[in-house]
Chain A
Amino acid sequence: MEAMEEFRIQQTRRAFLERSTLGLGSIALGSLLHGAEKPRNQIGGLEGFPHFAPKAKRVIYLFQSGGPSQMDLFDPKPHLADHFGEEVPESIYPAERKTTMTSGQASFPLAPSTFKFARHGASGIHLSNAMPHLAKVIDEVCVIKSMYTEAINHDPAATLFQTGSVIPGRPSMGAWASYGLGSVNADLPSFVALTSGTGGQPLYDRLWGAGFLPGRFQGVKFRGQGDPILDLYNPAGVTRAQRRRMLDALGELNAKQASRYNDPAIATRIAQYELAFRMQMSVPELIDFKSEPKSTLDLYGPEATKVGKYAYNCLLARRLAERGVRFIQLFHRGWDSHGGAPKQIAARCRDTDQATAGLLRDLKQRGMLEDTLVVWGGEFGRTVYCQGKLTRTNYGRDHHPNCFTYWMAGGGVKGGLSYGETDDYSVNVVDKPVHVHDLQATIMHQLGIDHERLTYRYQGRYFRLTDVHGKVVKDVLS
């Protein structure tokens, strides 16, 4: 026991010495209460990270919450038009993969897409006419038609995409990235979550949470109402000069405490108050779009300056990316098209298509697309059979986990590539399947992280984002 304790003390001493050399600007300074943390570098990343030269310095993940319909957007099955309303046999669509929202239906009639498809760009990638703006930049994009998941309901499926597990409690992807790589901007958080859209599927704080990682790695949610970051602004009537005065007093009085108690955590606290004070300046500057020329605003469309809209969030994402924020996670709600799918899908495309394409163009014109990985997709796809009443112009589609589409652009991904194939009914993947964990492994890889070596010991076990799975999809990398 004696030797063991001596050993442990040596270890903690080492951790302490290393941490005490970090600059005050680093967000990485933690309290010693949980002193089991690994050594960190100057920007608060883990020693030895990144594992290799990253192709992407940052990620913008445009999560389309609710489950966009692959066969109405990216995965055309034109021959199905001739089979309108025919029963989808169980040999094609297995009963056990149906949710209990439709498994009790008397029939499962085939619902061909009402959208028109055409090939676009030099790559000739198929897109539906709901996304005319994306069509113009499609040569930047790698479309993966062979995504699949196990989860069949929104909550587990979205949680799997963001945290690698259907059961809540694990850290989100952005938290993992911040934990491994640290932060290059001392005045802004390294992981930001932006939400838009109303109605449809709710979102949950855990989708950008830190899970069992230390709390400082959680995504900071920017708010569409009130303070953009919780409690950012001084209370009514209080000026910045007054706050400065108060911080000086706090610094002076807290320093006395620090020397009395010899507690290094106090220095951390003083530093965090100063960082908060700087954020009170940097965040309003960040969300002030006045300096953006009209030509840029036009790229994102008419909602670019409306706080809380998807287009606004896309422009904000670019501004965050410029300032070195590592992981920017957008969530847009409203893709859950159980009924009235054609109208709903068209409406969601109107919310998002121009701004999404605008973001790609804007990044491109600034030379940032090559080191920014943009990811687009939801938690699963939709069924080929109709949920509810089927007509020539209207149908609903239930959740479908066996195949759906994602796309990526920039950040070392091959543009103008269509990857993977589904069967004639868009029910199953028939070529080059890509699992959720594979996508996660690939995103981490582009950030310079070997997903198998980004682990955290919790409850005696080494956890990682991809659990015990995940293969980097090398075929889509340039």
Chain B
Amino acid sequence: MMIRVICILLPFLLGGLAQAADLDFVQEVRPVLSDSCYNCHGPDAKARKGKLRLDDRAAAFKSEVLTNDEMLKRLTSEDPDERMPPPDSKRVLSLKDRAKLVQWLKAGAKWPEDDRHWAFVPPGRSALPKIKNEAWVRNEIDSFILARLERKGWQPSPQTDKATLLRRVTFDLTGLPPTIEELDDFLNDDAPDAYEKAVDRLLQSSQYGEHMALGWMEASRYADTDGYQNDRLRYMWVWRDWLIKALNDNMPFDRFVTEQMAGDLLPDRNFYTQVATGYNRNHRINSEGGSIPDEWIVEYVADRVETMGTMFLGLTLTCSRCHDHKYDPVGQKDFYRLFAFFNNIAEAGLGPNNGNSPPFIKVPKSWPNLSEEESEFVVPDPPKVKVVQTSVPRPQPGAPDTVMVLHERSNPRPTYLLNRGLYDQPDKSEKLQPATPPVLGVWKKEWPKNRIGLSQWLLDPKHPLTARVTINRLWQHYFGMGLVKTSENFGVQGELPSHPALLDWLATEFVRRDWNIKAMHKLIVTSATYRQASEALTLHLEEDPENRLLAHGPRKRLSPYQIRDAALFNSGLLVEKIGGPSVKPYMPPRIWKSISNATYKQDKGEKLYRRSMYTYWRRTVPPPTMMTLNAAAREVCIVRNDQTTTPLQALTMMNNVTFVESARFLAERVMKTKGLSHSRRIAHAFRMVTSREPTPGETKRLLADLRFYLDDFRRRPEAAKQLLTVGEKKADPMLDAVTLASYALVANTILNLDEAIMQD
């Protein structure tokens, strides 16, 4: 194996030597310096060794190590006392990276004067690149993608077939598959704008808002409980309702963010904008008796800063909480200046024993259809902290008809830098005022130094990050991977964009189109890039296995929510009601009780079949089916999920009650379609799940299986009846149990196909 690796790498290493003089500092050298050297020779003054810093051009040259051979000597020395990084630091500098630095130094250590990290320079709008195959291009996105492919000598893939395309775009925009009727309509529509019409229909559907809300909910760490120890109940679904509606109404992104960040402060504030601020209350709250309130207020405020960092700035601000950032130019003081924006909420350190934590407001019964009077801004009660159990300071709990919001205290809480991030170690020598890190763009004087101003800063057209980071997540939604793969980190340690000019073009286009989210969705899904067939050539697989160059369309696994929703949808079980409180579908026995003091009380009837975004989310015991399929845990902000394949997923897909019940009712659906032969029924079920007709070979195989199951269950009719009792919904007694159970197993097979849970 090792030999093979060397064989592959050797030509590269040699090639690397030949073009050494071309090494680009920002793109190629600094990432290595950052990864291997900045821990001790970077922005963090306290951790700096030998007074040497390699993150600052002037300081690095002043030290002369770049030019006097000192660094070269340290990199090439075999003496453990000399060698850098020191062996006992346990930092690994690979052979090729070491060779890179050596070559850079030997070529004169070229370090441009403007060495700003690419992501801290506001996006510029470059001209569209020149391309050869102009006929392929449908919009600007395609020019950028094609130019890169052509440079490599590759061609894009042809458009995928219509059925696959409709399935792809329907899942991407609504989280659900197309119905057979929608498929047939589309296949029979030969008009040139047939696809665009379908896209418009999907963008207008209310399922669009539900589906798009999910990513935002995961990033906003939305849950139905507080998240620590006894994990007390909270009521935040009203915020989720607001979110779905805002997305369905296509609220411009700048307004969407501003309402969530500062809806309690806006001049035109009202009840709805107040509800929007629940975004910044979705963090965990500790209600464990014995906890020290001041300590936890710090955690809540820090969580808001960190979430904003990940979602809008694509930066790991967390690092700067305890010390200056090791890699990015964000100092510890910068962190606490951002902290100051969120440090003035009229909140309590401990949560109540169940219920919302102040500040919260009462939600009228008429929600979401409020009268004019009810739509007005409400002043929440201040926290009324009562000491219980000798010394536990608890606030008043908010009842189920309340929702948590932001509200400012009348006397501002002072903000200090906290040494090592600890609540009891403030540096009281300097009181810190709200401010943003200077490296991330200017702060205009006219902006108020509060969360309104903070939103204005985030959404300023010149801001280097917000639009890029948002567009990149949008791209990730469609292609399974962002143009910047590390969608959570645009900093020096993040990955470089695969198509930097495209990223910037999209970011500026987003601003140019007045932050119109649906317009950006439409731009992407109508591109030729998105419409490509997803079959990969062996050449692609070998040279670009992650499909970064997009020589073919995306092939990605459905999200856990989509997998469950699609199964319910195809079986006709899905209850498509929008919004409302969370529901409690099937769970394993004693799911909560076995490790906590709470009991899960499963719902009945239609609440078992709502979309998965409404499933009750207990943070310390999250829904296991969703977790098995790689949902985010909702503890902290997560914008990128891992997608590993495990045997537990197979067990869930085969045996979990929801999926077995779905198989039963998918079987009923096709059995009740009149006048169909066995093979037509199978084909019908197959098409509902995969959006395509099975091949004769596939039908034949499944038909043989059906006969096998029929024979089997005929010998064991009681077993057939047993299978039909899985799940609450009763089987239609008019149908023959043996036949129905046999079809259920075929449906179970179809729902477990790779194609059923993949988006091609």
| A positions within 8 Å CB-CB of B | 1-10, 12-18, 21, 27, 29-36, 96, 99-105, 152-155, 167-169, 195, 198-199, 201-206, 209, 214-216, 220, 223-227, 229-239, 241-243, 245-246, 249-250, 252-254, 256-258, 260-266, 268-269, 272-273, 275-276, 279-280, 308, 331, 333, 398-399, 450, 452-453, 457, 459-461
Say whether B493 contacts A461, CB under 8 Å: yes
With contact pairs A3-B28, A13-B8, A169-B636 given, residues A102 and B391 touching in the complex (Cβ less than 8 Å): yes
Say whether B760 contacts A261, CB under 8 Å: yes
Residues on A with C-beta less than 8 A from B540 are 262
User: Please, how many angstroms separate the alpha-carbon atoms of A202 and B326 in the complex?
Assistant: 37
Say whether B489 contacts A245, CB under 8 Å: no
Residues on B with C-beta less than 8 A from A204 are 231, 595, 620-621
Say whether A100 contacts B652, CB under 8 Å: no
Nearest residue in A to B760 (C-beta to C-beta)? A261
Say whether B726 contacts A233, CB under 8 Å: no
Say whether B620 contacts A100, CB under 8 Å: no
Say whether A230 contacts B543, CB under 8 Å: no
Residues on B with C-beta less than 8 A from A398 are 290
With contact pairs A154-B288, A261-B760 given, residues A101 and B481 touching in the complex (Cβ less than 8 Å): no
With contact pairs A17-B8, A101-B389 given, residues A169 and B90 touching in the complex (Cβ less than 8 Å): no
Q: Is B498 an interface residue (CB 8 A)?
A: yes
Nearest residue in B to A259 (C-beta to C-beta)? B535
Interface residues of B in 399-445 (CB under 8 A from A): 424
User: Please, how many angstroms separate the alpha-carbon atoms of A27 and B649 in the complex?
Assistant: 12
Say whether A195 contacts B709, CB under 8 Å: no
User: Please, how many angstroms separate the alpha-carbon atoms of A155 and B534 in the complex?
Assistant: 46
Say whether A452 contacts B90, CB under 8 Å: yes
Q: Is B556 an interface residue (CB 8 A)?
A: yes
User: Please, how many angstroms separate the alpha-carbon atoms of A31 and B642 in the complex?
Assistant: 9
Nearest residue in B to A104 (C-beta to C-beta)? B391
Say whether B705 contacts A231, CB under 8 Å: no
Say whether B544 contacts A9, CB under 8 Å: yes
Of listed B4, B288, B389, B485, residue having the most chain A CB within 10 A: B288
With contact pairs A16-B541, A153-B229 given, residues A33 and B556 touching in the complex (Cβ less than 8 Å): yes
With beta carbons under 8 angstroms apart, the residue of A206, A399, A452 that contacts B633 is: A206
Listed stretches B59-67, B124-132, B238-246, B750-758; interface member: B750-758
Interface of chain B: mostly helix, strand, loop or mixed: loop
Q: Is B27 an interface residue (CB 8 A)?
A: yes
Say whether A21 contacts B542, CB under 8 Å: no
Say whether B8 contacts A227, CB under 8 Å: no
With beta carbons under 8 angstroms apart, the residue of A8, A230, A261 that contacts B648 is: A230
With contact pairs A104-B391, A237-B719, A261-B534 given, residues A202 and B645 touching in the complex (Cβ less than 8 Å): no
User: Please, how many angstroms separate the alpha-carbon atoms of A220 and B644 in the complex?
Assistant: 15
Nearest residue in A to B328 (C-beta to C-beta)? A460
Nearest residue in A to B500 (C-beta to C-beta)? A1
Q: Is B701 an interface residue (CB 8 A)?
A: yes
Say whether B655 contacts A252, CB under 8 Å: no
Say whether B655 contacts A231, CB under 8 Å: yes
Say whether B755 contacts A257, CB under 8 Å: yes
Listed stretches B333-341, B374-382, B623-631; interface member: B623-631
Interface residues of B in 1-56 (CB under 8 A from A): 1, 4-5, 8-9, 12, 19, 22-24, 27-28
Residues on B with C-beta less than 8 A from A1 are 24, 27, 496, 500
User: Please, how many angstroms separate the alpha-carbon atoms of A67 and B290 in the complex?
Assistant: 14
Of listed A8, A231, A399, A453, residue having the most chain B CB within 10 A: A231
Say whether A18 contacts B290, CB under 8 Å: no
Say whether B745 contacts A242, CB under 8 Å: yes
Of listed A9, A225, A459, residue having the most chain B CB within 10 A: A459
User: Please, how many angstroms separate the alpha-carbon atoms of A17 and B647 in the complex?
Assistant: 23
User: Please, how many angstroms separate the alpha-carbon atoms of A266 and B480 in the complex?
Assistant: 16
User: Please, how many angstroms separate the alpha-carbon atoms of A79 and B411 in the complex?
Assistant: 52
User: Please, how many angstroms separate the alpha-carbon atoms of A476 and B395 in the complex?
Assistant: 47
User: Please, how many angstroms separate the alpha-carbon atoms of A12 and B495 in the complex?
Assistant: 14
Contact bitstring B356-394, A, C-beta under 8 A = 1, else 0: 000000000000000000000000000000010111110
Q: Is B327 an interface residue (CB 8 A)?
A: yes
Contact bitstring B450-494, A, C-beta under 8 A = 1, else 0: 000000000000000000000000000000110001101101111
With contact pairs A104-B391, A155-B286 given, residues A230 and B628 touching in the complex (Cβ less than 8 Å): yes
- B431 shortest CB reach to chain A, Å: 23
Residues on A with C-beta less than 8 A from B19 are 3
- A63 shortest CB reach to chain B, Å: 12
User: Please, how many angstroms separate the alpha-carbon atoms of A207 and B392 in the complex?
Assistant: 26
User: Please, how many angstroms separate the alpha-carbon atoms of A447 and B537 in the complex?
Assistant: 43
**27 A-B residue pairs with CB within 8 Å:** A10-B9, A10-B12, A16-B542, A18-B1, A18-B5, A31-B643, A33-B642, A104-B387, A105-B391, A153-B229, A153-B286, A154-B229, A168-B284, A202-B230, A202-B598, A204-B620, A205-B627, A206-B620, A223-B588, A230-B651, A230-B656, A235-B723, A236-B723, A249-B702, A250-B753, A261-B760, A269-B645
Residues on B with C-beta less than 8 A from A252 are 701
Residues on A with C-beta less than 8 A from B228 are 155
User: Please, how many angstroms separate the alpha-carbon atoms of A7 and B94 in the complex?
Assistant: 14
User: Please, how many angstroms separate the alpha-carbon atoms of A30 and B630 in the complex?
Assistant: 12
- B592 shortest CB reach to chain A, Å: 9
With beta carbons under 8 angstroms apart, the residue of B8, B486, B556 that contacts A10 is: B8
Say whether B712 contacts A243, CB under 8 Å: no
Say whether B290 contacts A268, CB under 8 Å: no
Q: Is B590 an interface residue (CB 8 A)?
A: yes
Q: Is B538 an interface residue (CB 8 A)?
A: yes
Say whether A205 contacts B590, CB under 8 Å: no
User: Please, how many angstroms separate the alpha-carbon atoms of A440 and B289 in the complex?
Assistant: 27
- A351 shortest CB reach to chain B, Å: 16
With contact pairs A153-B288, A202-B229, A227-B588 given, residues A272 and B628 touching in the complex (Cβ less than 8 Å): no
Say whether B620 contacts A268, CB under 8 Å: no
Residues on A with C-beta less than 8 A from B624 are 230
Q: Is B722 an interface residue (CB 8 A)?
A: yes
Q: Is B646 an interface residue (CB 8 A)?
A: yes
User: Please, how many angstroms separate the alpha-carbon atoms of A25 and B390 in the complex?
Assistant: 57
Residues on B with C-beta less than 8 A from A268 are 645
With beta carbons under 8 angstroms apart, the residue of B290, B536, B719 that contacts A153 is: B290
With contact pairs A231-B651, A249-B705 given, residues A216 and B542 touching in the complex (Cβ less than 8 Å): no
Residues on B with C-beta less than 8 A from A232 are 651, 655
Residues on A with C-beta less than 8 A from B90 are 450, 452-453
Say whether A12 contacts B545, CB under 8 Å: yes
User: Please, how many angstroms separate the alpha-carbon atoms of A33 and B695 in the complex?
Assistant: 29
Say whether B650 contacts A273, CB under 8 Å: yes
- B708 shortest CB reach to chain A, Å: 6
**Apart from A168-B227, A246-B745, what are 14 other A-B pairs with CB-CB below 8 Å?**
A5-B548, A7-B12, A99-B289, A152-B290, A169-B635, A169-B636, A205-B627, A209-B633, A223-B589, A245-B708, A249-B701, A253-B698, A269-B645, A460-B491
User: Please, how many angstroms separate the alpha-carbon atoms of A103 and B291 in the complex?
Assistant: 11
Contact bitstring B229-255, A, C-beta under 8 A = 1, else 0: 111000000000000000000000000
User: Please, how many angstroms separate the alpha-carbon atoms of A280 and B654 in the complex?
Assistant: 12
Say whether A229 contacts B749, CB under 8 Å: no
Q: Is B188 an interface residue (CB 8 A)?
A: no
Q: Is B557 an interface residue (CB 8 A)?
A: yes
Say whether A203 contacts B595, CB under 8 Å: yes
Residues on A with C-beta less than 8 A from B677 are none
Closest 5 CB pairs of A and B: A460-B493, A104-B391, A99-B290, A202-B596, A237-B722
- B345 shortest CB reach to chain A, Å: 20
User: Please, how many angstroms separate the alpha-carbon atoms of A215 and B622 in the complex?
Assistant: 14
Interface residues of B in 575-611 (CB under 8 A from A): 588-590, 593-598
Residues on B with C-beta less than 8 A from A152 are 290, 292
User: Please, how many angstroms separate the alpha-carbon atoms of A275 and B627 in the complex?
Assistant: 19
- A217 shortest CB reach to chain B, Å: 9
Of listed A4, A27, A457, residue having the most chain B CB within 10 A: A4
Say whether A257 contacts B754, CB under 8 Å: yes
Residues on A with C-beta less than 8 A from B651 are 229-232, 276, 279-280
Q: Is B109 an interface residue (CB 8 A)?
A: no
Say whether A241 contacts B712, CB under 8 Å: yes
